[in-house]
Structure 1
Amino acid sequence: MSADLKKKETEMSNLNNMMKQAQQMQQDMAKAQGELAETELVYEGNGVKVTVTGDMAVKKVDIDQELVDSKDKEMLEDVILVAINAALTSAREETEKQMSGITGGLNIPGLF
């Protein structure tokens, strides 16, 4: 067998291995995304509790009755906004943590 033929066989073998790894990564990512969709993260502070899922869906917002009764609309809006953003930040961090475990730390733009 010539050296060129051996080199081509090695390259094909390497390509096949890369394809298998990519397919496995794709399966692992699909599984992780399904799990993240069911993972709930909660932020609680200043009388507001926000529950979001790992896929960035806001599931529930609880507001203490004292805040509702305060009649300070602007303050209530601010507190809710802070709580939602904090909960979504937690969800984004959890997603990045899960996905980086699958991708081996590769930074793939637009992945998550």
Structure 2
Amino acid sequence: MDMSKMMKQVQKMQSQMSEVQDELAEKTVEATAGGGVVKVVVNGQQEVVDITIEPEAVDPEDVEMLEDLVLAATNEAMRKVQDMASKEMGKLTGGMNIPGLF
């Protein structure tokens, strides 16, 4: 394979990766904890964009429980968004695991 052809393929892949990253930025995932009393929404850029806490989750005598629920929902949302990003990038890379992509 000549070098110019390979460089064109690399440039094409970079362009496609940029498009996928833009698409991921538009997508969100949602995770809940405590039977749905805490909900966290994360976008494809791994930013928390919304947290909803139902009033019944708020117990002034047990703040630690609420903290645990928020943490659990956030961690689950992050796992989901990483899985989503890996799947989308996997479509582009043909399933190759390229370090640093996601």
Same-fold status (TM-score > 0.5): yes
- The answer to whether the aligner puts 1:75 opposite 2:98 as a matched pair is no
> Which ranges in structure 1 are unaligned for 5 or more consecutive residues?
1-10
Alignment counterpart, residue 100 of structure 2, candidates 101, 105, 110: 110
Superposition pairs of residues 1-112 of structure 1, within 5 angstroms: 11-12=1-2, 15-46=3-34, 47-68=37-58, 70-71=59-60, 72-112=62-102
Structure 1's consecutive aligned runs of 4 or more residues displaced over 3 angstroms after TM superposition are: none
Higher helix share: 1
Structure 1 CA distance, aligned partners of 2:95 and 2:8? 19
Deviates most, 82-91 or 38-47: 38-47
Find the structure with the greater CA-based Rg.
1
SS of residue matched to 2:49: strand
Q: Summarize deviations over 1:46-84 as a string: whole Å, max 9, x none.
A: 11010000110000000010011x221000000100000
Q: Could you list the per-position Cα deviations for residues 76-110 of structure 1 after superposition, in whole angstroms to 9, with x for gaps in the alignment?
A: 00010000000010000000000111111121111
Structure 2 unpaired stretches of 5+ = none
Query: For 1:79 and 1:56, how far apart are their aligned partners in 2?
Result: 19
Two-structure CA RMSD over aligned residues (Å): 1.1
1:7-50 Cα distance to aligned partner (Å, 9 max, x none): xxxx43xx222222111110010001011111011112311010
Count of residue pairs the alignment pairs up: 99
TM-score for the superposition, normalised by structure 2 = 0.91
